Amino acid sequence: MYRSEISKPQLENPNLVDRIIVIILPNYFYEYEGVLKHLRKENFGIIEKHVKHFKADDVMEWKSADLESQDIWELSDRLSDGPCMLLLCQRANAFIEMREVARYHNVIAHRMSSNDGIYFSKTTIAAYHDTLFFFPKYIDEKAILKHAKDYLSVEVWPKLSQGLARLAVERPDNPIVSCIPKFDNIYLCYFLQKWLAEHLQQMRS
């Protein structure tokens, strides 16, 4: 067991802070120091870390608890091949930034074993289920709801209101393209684009 370590990441926006699970898989375990160094360089806060030896029952229980993470099914057979490094991390824009970190290390891992070396929670829902399974003491339902409320009130509603007001005045040919770039979260952009397209279609029908 490793000593819990909490570092303070340089948060770009406190309303965008997310906690995610990162697992350094057995085929890349020997590179864990390099991964930790990379995470700190990218301003990830490492809340907790420890080595875990997965058993078949552990893998099945995790798979059944987290149906959101489809890639669990792809790597489940390799989890019990040796020790894994289990990390609970946090950062502003964590999903976007972790994708780049994982891509870098998975390219290296593929050269050596033809498999990814790092798993991480890909979505907010997957991160919730992963954290609930591996680090349940860090799940605070009230804090999660407050985080969502703060994010919506500060990051979504003001920009959405301004964007819709601007669309009403300017009436551009493609309102979706004109409105969506105001948002800096790719997941939010996707859902807003879908919602706006459906709303405009209803107005025209």
| Residue pLDDT, tens place only, 157-179 | 777 777 777 767 777 666 555 55
Residue 173 in tokens: 């040919």
Rounded Cα distance, 88 and 71, in Å: 18
Tell me whether residue 5 is in a domain.
Answer: no
pLDDT at position 24 over 90: yes
Tell me whether residue 50 is in a domain.
Answer: yes
pLDDT at position 180 over 80: no
Rounded Cα distance, 116 and 25, in Å: 8
Whole domain around residue 187: which residue ranges? 144-204
Q: Is the alpha carbon torsion for 49, 53, 59, 61 positive or negative?
A: negative
Token pair 């091949």 is at which residue? 81
Same domain membership, residue 135 and residue 91: yes
Instruction: Check which CATH number belongs to the domain holding 127 and give it.
Output: 3.30.70.141
Summarize the confidence of residues 20-46 as an average pLDDT.
94
**pLDDT tens for each residue of 60-114:** 777 665 555 556 666 777 888 899 999 999 998 888 899 999 999 999 999 988 8
Same domain membership, residue 113 and residue 151: no
Tell me whether residue 161 is in a domain.
Answer: yes
Token pair 């107005």 is at which residue? 203
Same domain membership, residue 187 and residue 86: no
Same domain membership, residue 177 and residue 104: no
Summarize the confidence of residues 42-52 as an average pLDDT.
93
Instruction: Out of 106, 124, 139, pick the residue that ends a domain.
Output: 139
Instruction: Out of 114, 139, 164, pick the residue that ends a domain.
Output: 139
**pLDDT tens for each residue of 183-205:** 544 445 545 555 555 655 665 55
Query: What is the domain count for the chain?
Result: 2
DSSP string, 86-149: EEEEEEETHHHHHHHHHHHHHHHHHHHHSS--EEE--SHHHHHHHHHHH-GGG--HHHHHHHHH
Tell me whether residue 2 is in a domain.
Answer: no
Same domain membership, residue 122 and residue 22: yes
Same domain membership, residue 113 and residue 174: no
The end-to-end CA distance of the chain, in Å, is 61
Confidence of residue 35 (pLDDT cuts 50, 70, 90): very high
Same domain membership, residue 23 and residue 107: yes
Same domain membership, residue 159 and residue 106: no
Tell me whether residue 6 is in a domain.
Answer: no
Average pLDDT score over the chain: 75
DSSP string, 69-88: -THHHHHHHHHTTS-EEEEE
